[in-house]
Amino acid sequence: MGPVQGDKPDKSTLADLKQELRTIVKSRLKTLSPDNLHRAGFAAAERLKTHPRWQQARLVLLYASMSGEIDTEPLFHLAKTSGKTIFYPRVEGDEIGFYQVNELLDLESQGPWHILEPRPGLTSLFDWIHTICNTVEQAQTPVPILGIIPGLAFDRQGGRLGRGKGYYDRFLSSIEKIDFPYPLQLYTIGLSIPEQVVDQVPRSPYDIRVHEVMVIERGLTGDLPRA
């Protein structure tokens, strides 16, 4: 399933296509019980545990799941027991910043949607990287980061549809442009269930694809690598 999209849809058409797809996927997600999504979280953790990119990653970018999303708490516990350094996003105006979270108690309910975000005073992602890579030897070694990216819909080419604010698109675009004195090796995985996978996500040149889509269903997983 997926809306038909021309090669270069105008801005109004693209916005309409995106909103139509959001409505369709949200309707599908309403049929899922919290138990389904909780079990999907454990299945995702089992799949990630043996994923080469997970095993290589020193840092993991996670997020606190909202209603209708795969429960990400099992992923936090996996990252914690695997010795990963964990970061969660916090909305800061029109952007998101990532902050180190050592315990789930470091997350607080924020904003009108009561999304769990890192409390003030935690170490930012970039401050952590600057600190850990503060020697010439470390600066020559890429910092492997795995980003688990939320979305309402995904396609098999890594296309991602968010909730319309553009936070992740701006973050992923900006991190690629930052001139660090040391290389970052960011690999992104879109976490989804079959109800979120469509033939084609309508996208503009500013919409950033994920490297891989991981589909979770009743304890079974299947990967859709980006073409």
Q: In angstroms, rounded to a whole number, what is the distance separating the alpha carbons of residues 84 and 227?
A: 28
Confirm whether residue 58 is marked as ligand binding: no
- With H, G, I as helix, E, B as strand and everything else as coil, classify residue 26: helix
**Residue 195 is labelled as binding a ligand:** no
Beta-ladder partners of 58: none
Whether 161 has a binding-site annotation, put simply, is yes
Q: Alpha helix locations (H) across 82-184?
A: 125-132, 136-139, 167-177
Tell me whether residue 163 is annotated as binding. yes
Residues forming beta bridges with residue 21, ordered by sequence position: none
Is 108 within any annotated ligand binding site?
no
Q: Is 218 annotated as a binding residue?
A: no
Token code pair at residue 52: 């080469």
Establish whether 53 is an annotated binding residue: no
Establish whether 8 is an annotated binding residue: no
Question: Is residue 47 marked as binding?
Answer: no
CB 184 within 8 A of CB 142: yes
As a whole number of angstroms, the distance between CA 151 and CA 132 comes to 30
Distance (Å, whole) CA 64 – CA 118: 10
Q: Is 41 annotated as a binding residue?
A: no
Say whether 21 counts as a known binding-site residue. Answer: yes
Amino acid code (one letter) for 198:
V
**CB-based contact 97:124 (threshold 8 Å):** yes
For the record, the structure tokens of 80 come out as 């914690």
166 is in an annotated binding site: yes
> What is the number of alpha carbons within 13 Å of residue 155 lying toward its C-beta?
17
- Residue 90 annotated as lining a ligand binding site: no
Annotated binding-site residue numbers for ATP = 18-22, 160-168
Annotated binding-site residue numbers = 18-22, 69, 160-168
Annotated binding-site residue numbers for substrate = 69
